[in-house]
Structure 1
Amino acid sequence: MKRILVLCTGNSARSQLAEGYLQHFAGDRAEVFSAGVDPKGVNPLAVQVMAEDGIDISHHTSDHVDQYLGQLFDYVITVCDNAREQCPIFPSQARRIHKSFTDPGHQPGMSALESFRQVRDEIRDYSRQFIADHLNAIGSLHA
């Protein structure tokens, strides 16, 4: 089973959305965690927009990245530039991947809810493709 850690600054929105989708698409093929370099608590709009798409993240917690130091991961994904810059080095052979997403709720000309939905959809598409590329590839070699 693969282990994936998603990092963001506040572990309140983008990393929470990614954790939810990556776990959804991976099923029992991966364990997915998320953390932040400066955790702020799970944003209620993140919970709301995921529920709209049938995924419950209301049980998620906002964790500090230090909680995961010393653990082994196959992938460490940073979803914002600040987290990428502040990300500690993990002692495992984790493959580090960076994919920056806009901070939801902070897009000019958009309501916070519209912004969260747009970023949610981008993260859903990325997560689906990530799982297809990184977890399904092994199975497809034997098909």
Structure 2
Amino acid sequence: MTPKIRVLFVCVANAARSQFAEALLRHSGGERFEAFSAGTAPGEVDARALAELRHLGIDAYGLRSKSIDEFAGERFDYVITLCDKSALECQALPGAGEVLAWHFEDPVTSERPDAFRHCVQEIHERIKMFMLVKTRH
């Protein structure tokens, strides 16, 4: 059996974007991928992010805001940053196989009324493409 591809998603607060990415990859690629998320300055998971995941029928059980320090010493095949600030802070992350920098607007600070729905849809599209590319044989 092939070992699962380990992916760590990182944003600053680990409140919405990286939580979306972790839950979406776990939901869509659980048999091929192991998904984790963390923040460079973690806070709390935004209730609107959890509500959006539930609305989509995606299990949000166990999601919590975590510091990137919790994963010190662990090895990841991919570390994917979800905002420019975390991309700068994660350049020298030990244990990262490949670092990918994606950028999504932070729905927590957005003025848009549908910011959370828009953000989760954008991240979902990117994750579907990532899974397609990374699971080709």
Provide the aligned C-alpha RMSD in A: 1.3
Q: In the alignment, residue 105 of structure 2 is paired with which amino acid?
A: T
Give me the identity figure in percent.
34
Question: What is the aligned partner in structure 2 of residue 19 from structure 1?
Answer: 22
Unaligned runs of 5+ in 2: none
How far is 1:88 from its partner?
Answer: 5.8
- Which residue in the other structure is 2:11 paired with? 8
1:67-119 deviation digits (Å, cap 9, x = unpaired): 112100000000011111112623335100000000004333x22xx110001
Indicate the residue corresponding to 2:129 in structure 1: 129
What TM-score comes out, normalization by structure 1 length?
A: 0.88
Structure label with greater radius of gyration: 1
* Separation in structure 1 between the aligned mates of residue 120 and residue 110 of structure 2, nearest angstrom: 14
Residue 29 (structure 1) aligned to one of 29, 32, 35: 32
User: Under a length normalisation based on structure 2, what TM-score does the superposition of the two structures give?
Assistant: 0.91
Report deviation, 1:35: 0.1
Instruction: Give 1:78's aligned residue.
Output: 81
1:22 Cα offset (Å): 1.2
Tell me which protein shows more helix as a share of its residues.
Answer: 1
Alignment of 1:37-116 (within 5 A): 37-87=40-90, 89-92=92-95, 94-108=97-111, 110-111=112-113, 114-116=114-116
Q: How many residues align?
A: 134
Whole-angstrom distance in 2 between the partners of 1:58 and 1:30: 17
- Matches of 1:41 and 1:93, distance apart in 2: 25
> How far did residue 133 of structure 1 move?
0.9
